[in-house]
């Protein structure tokens, strides 16, 4: 069964500091991985997906198949980055359901 683990429930950093939100997954195949974000009083929205290899709002995430990880990184955190972040995967093939981790609440302090 596929599983997504986000080991940190809470993460607090200062503005300008680097930030890394950890995500590990368990799935034997080649899943598609995503990061979703929920800002205060807003709906859940896609931040980035590994297949696009894109950088959104300064965030990047690299898929490491050897370590089964998909950590989200940003070199200089901003206060507006404070939000709930969810890592998610789709196992692919004929399985289209998104499996989410429990989320990490990031707080960026001034």
The residue within the footprint of other proteins, chosen from 25, 35, 70, 86 (CB under 8 A), is 86
3-class SS of residue 79: helix
Residue 38's nearest CA partner among 96, 100, 90, 95 is 100
The residue within the footprint of other proteins, chosen from 37, 63, 88, 106 (CB under 8 A), is 88
In sequence order, the β-bridge partners of residue 48 are 35
User: Binding string to other proteins for residues 12 to 51, with x set by CB under 8 A, is what?
Assistant: --------------------x----------xxxx--x-x
Task: Report, in Å, the least distance between residue 57 CB and other proteins.
Answer: 16
Q: Which is closer to other proteins, CB of 77 or CB of 85?
A: 85
Q: Which stretch binds other proteins (CB under 8 A): 21-29, 53-61, 65-73, 85-93?
A: 85-93
Q: Which is closer to other proteins, CB of 97 or CB of 110?
A: 97
Q: End-to-end distance of the chain based on CA atoms, in angstroms? A: 41
3-class SS of residue 96: coil
Other residues' Cβ atoms within 10 Å of the Cβ of residue 101 = 23
Beta-carbon contacts of residue 46 (< 8 Å; ≥ 6 apart): 34, 35, 36
In the complex, which residues of this chain contact other proteins (CB under 8 A)? 4, 32, 43-46, 49, 51, 86, 88, 90, 92, 95-103
């Amino acid at each position: 069964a596929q599983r997504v683990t986000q080991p940190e429930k809470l993460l607090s950093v200062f503005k300008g500091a680097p930030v890394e939100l950890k995500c590990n997954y368990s799935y034997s195949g080649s899943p598609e991985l995503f990061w979703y974000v929920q800002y205060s009083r807003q709906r859940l929205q896609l931040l980035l997906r590994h297949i696009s290899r894109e950088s959104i709002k300064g965030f990047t995430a690299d898929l490491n198949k050897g370590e089964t990880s998909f950590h989200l990184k940003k070199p200089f955190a901003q206060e507006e980055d404070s939000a709930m972040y969810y890592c998610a995967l789709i196992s692919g093939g004929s399985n289209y359901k998104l499996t989410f981790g429990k989320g990490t609440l990031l707080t960026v302090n001034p």
